[in-house]
Chains A and B, each alone.
Chain A
């Protein structure tokens, strides 16, 4: 347990801690706020924090972006290649895909919000719940009357 309070350990793990703080801010917005657009924004914050966390795994101290130097014939310069240290390109690729998928889901969510506004005339979660409860109550009373009439 003592190693968790050493400076070296903290310096190596403080980034993860900060990413998680950002993630939890996003989660708090999703859970606490009732406005649906704001919920989507909280989801985006959460998502971007996860991306940063994931990309940070590929970072190498003293490394540079994984783009190779070129020679005069526009081929990769294999001699100059050995001089540099490169960060891991694989997390970058996976996160590129994730960003694009993320914007696709965001746009779908926003379109759903527009439809909800059309049906309920509000985009506040609590108001939508109230309206739904009222609709259910009205339905129950209506069908209760009908079933009484049949008896």
Chain B
């Protein structure tokens, strides 16, 4: 019961934050609100028993991405103004997509049910084998580092590629600006 109550409160706050992001025009406020959104979602991850995901989301979503966005705002000095086009067509598109997705969830097993397909196949296998195979108390660590180690290796490759991409895009920024005679 208390679970449902916390979930409902967190959901209400998440939805309110998201709507505030839609309405808000100043970019600095929007970035701060997206940081708040990440922290709230981290709280929701805790109630969903995903503590590792929660602290990754708090560190990455509320920390690093906020810093990156503030850096972008500082570099671009954007002036936000009202959009001229009508919001009617996007609203229709979003409603149709949402209705289709909700229709898709109708066949799903109920939230938290023990006999859902996800709960009877691979998951219990990892849970039962980790104590004897790896002897690490945190099963998420065991899967991340050992059973699915190659996934993590691939993830590192993706982060490396993205880092190189960012460096290539931004390197020479100061030089080009100096050439143009633009003040920073």
Contact = CB atoms under 8 A, between A and B. Distances in A.
Interface of A: 4, 8-9, 11-18, 20-29, 31-35, 37-38, 40-42, 44-45, 48, 51-52, 55-61, 63-70, 75-76, 78, 81, 86-97, 99-108, 110-115, 117-118, 122-124, 126
B38 A89 contact: no
Contact of B162 (A37, A91, A97, A104): A104
A41 B32 CA distance: 11
Interface of B: 7, 11, 14-15, 18-19, 21-22, 27, 30-31, 34, 37-38, 41, 44-45, 48-53, 56-57, 60-61, 64-65, 68-69, 71-73, 75-76, 78, 80-81, 83-85, 87, 90-91, 93-95, 97-98, 101-102, 105-106, 108-114, 116, 118-119, 122-124, 126-127, 130-131, 135-140, 143-144, 148, 151-152, 155, 158-159, 161-163, 165-166, 169-170, 173, 176-177
Given A66-B138, A67-B138, A20 B118 contact: no
A35 B38 contact: no
Contacts of A9: 110
A89 B123 CA distance: 6
B135 A75 contact: yes
A52 B76 contact: no
A16 B108 CA distance: 9
Nearest to B91: A28
17 contacts: A9-B110, A22-B15, A37-B27, A38-B21, A40-B69, A48-B37, A55-B48, A58-B118, A66-B139, A67-B139, A89-B139, A90-B126, A91-B50, A97-B155, A108-B169, A113-B72, A126-B85
A69 B32 CA distance: 38
B48 A52 contact: yes
Interface centre among B30, B51, B53, B137 (most CB of A within 10 A): B53
Contacts of B131: 68, 76, 78, 81
Contact of A88 (B37, B123, B137): B123
A124 B79 CA distance: 9
A35 B138 contact: no
Contact of B84 (A33, A68, A99, A126): A126
B173 A114 contact: yes
Contact of A114 (B31, B75, B80, B116): B75
Contacts of B114: 60-61
Given A76-B135, A89-B126, A12 B113 contact: yes
Contacts of A101: 155, 158-159
A67 B159 contact: no
B49 A66 contact: yes
B101 A23 contact: yes
Given A12-B113, A22-B15, A67-B137, 13 more contacts: A11-B110, A20-B101, A37-B31, A37-B76, A65-B49, A67-B139, A76-B135, A76-B137, A92-B50, A93-B151, A104-B163, A110-B72, A114-B72
B167 to A, nearest CB: 9
